[in-house]
Amino acid sequence: MARRRQAVTIKHVAADAGVSLQTVSRVINKEPSVRPEMQERVQASIDRLGYVPSIAAQRMSGSRSYLILAINDRERTIADWRARQGTDWVDQMLLGGMLKCAEHGYRMIFELVDTHDDHVERELAAAIAALQPDGIILTPPHSDNPRIVDFLGKQKIPFVRIGSHGPGPGILLTMGDKQMAEDATRYLIERGHERIGFIAGSPEYRLSSRRVEGWRKAMDAAGLSTDGLLAEGDFSFASGEQAAALLLGRSAPPSAIIASNDQMALATLELARARGIAVPESLSLISFDNTPLVHFTQPPLTAVDQPIAETVSRAVDLIIRAQKGDEIPAGVTTVNGSLAERASVAAPG
């Protein structure tokens, strides 16, 4: 049996070059404090031995960990995983974040934290102590949790707040929720709809109110009333069903409904089918998220496509730029989504 070749480590390089481990690490990290002749000497040993730097070696200088920590909501993430209903927020986070990290020699670590935990600061402190990340990505609702934001603001670690407009420390990055809701509403208005209902998401997420604002803005601009056309959900299927029942039970029901996520849109579609309301002939329907589920409904749902992968990729890029001391855009950076047109919208019957 062939013997497995022993991996070349930073110790081998240091011994071959006749320098300390810290010197090799500084060369790997391209630190300016290393003399050119020493850089050439260490690099020659690296090339000769075929050494590939590891994260551990890169961390030895103490300047960077080459890890970025992405934090998502524990309760909702686990509920989505257990339901196995095709939500792909985490998949898209990993797609965008991991690919961008790989471009720069970083790794992304994914952690779940309960935003409602009374000891959330302790949980975050333990994760930071263990991983020593170069930056942190917060997703909603963490990105607007003042306890989490204030705690991270004291850690002197760059962190991005996805879906947040502030206030407080951190780099603000959004997906243009208000604009996307406005565009979806205008899309329906242009097709002749005047009574457009809206199912809002959980008030715990500030993006929910921004989506409502976008819907109201488009309706007001067209001179259309929103009275009796707003119902509140919490992003769950059950809440979408209740909200849709409220809207469709009106004496003058809407001819179209925008739901703030795919689960509530699916609930609306199911309720309409149960009541004999044809989509899109008698009711047009638009969803937010554009997860895999809405591609395969009958009819396939028109949906606001949230650019999750692109947004997390941008978050990684901003953190790396901040680590290097590069200038970061002031205010809120927006990554705009788009509308995926399918078969759930038609002119009012």
Token representation of residue 119: 């000891």
Q: What is the pLDDT of residue 297?
A: 94
Tens digit of pLDDT at every position of the chain (349 positions): 444 445 788 889 999 999 988 888 788 777 777 888 888 999 999 889 888 766 555 555 556 788 999 999 998 899 889 988 778 999 999 999 999 999 988 999 999 999 888 889 999 999 998 889 999 999 999 999 999 999 999 998 999 999 999 899 999 999 999 999 999 999 999 999 999 999 999 999 999 999 999 999 999 999 999 999 999 999 999 999 999 999 999 999 999 999 999 999 999 999 999 999 999 999 999 999 999 989 999 999 999 999 999 999 999 999 999 998 899 988 999 999 999 999 999 999 8
From the number of C-beta atoms within 10 Å of its C-beta (0-12, 13-18, 19+), residue 112 rates as: middle
Question: What are the φ and ψ backbone dihedral angles of 214, each rounded to 5 degrees?
Answer: -65, -40
Helices (H), 155-201: 177-189
State pTM to two decimals: 0.82
Q: Give the pair of three-digit tokens for residue 50.
A: 């075929």
Residue 193, amino acid: H
- Contact indicator for 74, 112 with CB cutoff of 8 Å: yes
State CA 143 to chain mean position distance.
Answer: 10
What are the pLDDT digits (tens) for 75-118? 889 988 998 877 899 999 999 999 999 998 899 999 999 988 88
**CA dist., res. 224 & res. 324, Å (int):** 50
- The alpha carbon torsion through 221, 224, 227, 228 (nearest 10 deg) reads -120
The CA–CA distances, whole Å, from 116 to 121, 196, 248 equal 11, 34, 34
- Any bridge partners for residue 162, and if so which? 173
Tell me the domains of the chain and their CATH numbers.
Answer: 10-59 (1.10.260.40), 67-175+308-336 (3.40.50.2300), 181-305 (3.40.50.2300)
Kindly give the residue spans of alpha helices, DSSP state H, lying in the chain.
Answer: 10-17, 21-28, 36-49, 55-59, 74-83, 89-103, 120-131, 146-153, 177-189, 206-221, 237-248, 262-274, 308-323
Looking at residue 55, its pLDDT comes to 59
